[in-house]
Amino acid sequence: EAGVTQSPTHLIKTRGQQATLRCSPISGHTSVYWYQQALGLGLQFLLWYDEGEERNRGNFPPRFSGRQFPNYSSELNVNALELEDSALYLCASSPGTGGVYEQYFGPGTRLTVT
């Protein structure tokens, strides 16, 4: 069974540009979560999608947005990039709306803003 996949692996953008990150969950998983992991700051919850709907979002500005497609894959968009957006962006999936038990993480997208 394939795990969670993310693309691209690395992304370099300049300040003010837009970035699009993609995630494919494990087959059968309907919930997708996005996290930002900046150096030394742990995992910061960004967004949670389930069955195509945004279930909740963390304390991030509106320029962080996303969507979930009918096949449950997901896209994270970051507009008007700032230097402090440089981080590892992790996607995780879980079966159903729980996510209480375990989440399966992808390898992440390393975003660098210059």
Partner 1 sequence: GQSLEQPSEVTAVEGAIVQINCTYQTSGFYGLSWYQQHDGGAPTFLSYNALDGLEETGRFSSFLSRSDSYGYLLLQELQMKDSASYFCAVRDYQEDKIIFGKGTRLHILP
The amino acid at residue 13 is K
Stretch of 11-19, 20-28, 34-42, 68-76 contacting partner 1, by CB under 8 A: 34-42
Determine which residue in the list 2, 9, 10, 41 makes contact with partner 1, applying CB under 8 A: 41
Rounded alpha-carbon distances, angstroms, from residue 3 to 17, 18, 19, 77: 30, 27, 23, 22
Determine which residue in the list 13, 26, 30, 58 makes contact with partner 1, applying CB under 8 A: 58
Smaller CB separation from partner 1, 40 or 70: 40
Question: What DSSP character marks residue 65?
Answer: E
CA max distance for the chain: 38
Determine which residue in the list 74, 81, 99, 113 makes contact with partner 1, applying CB under 8 A: 99
Which residues make Cβ contacts (< 8 Å) with residue 56, sequence separation at least 6?
A: 47, 48
Q: Which residues, 65 to 94, sit near partner 1 by CB under 8 A? A: 90, 92
31, HSE (Cβ side, Cα atoms, 13 Å): 18
Stretch of 7-15, 22-30, 73-81, 103-111 contacting partner 1, by CB under 8 A: 103-111
Residues that bind partner 1 (CB under 8 A): 33, 35, 40-45, 48, 55-56, 58, 90, 92, 99-108
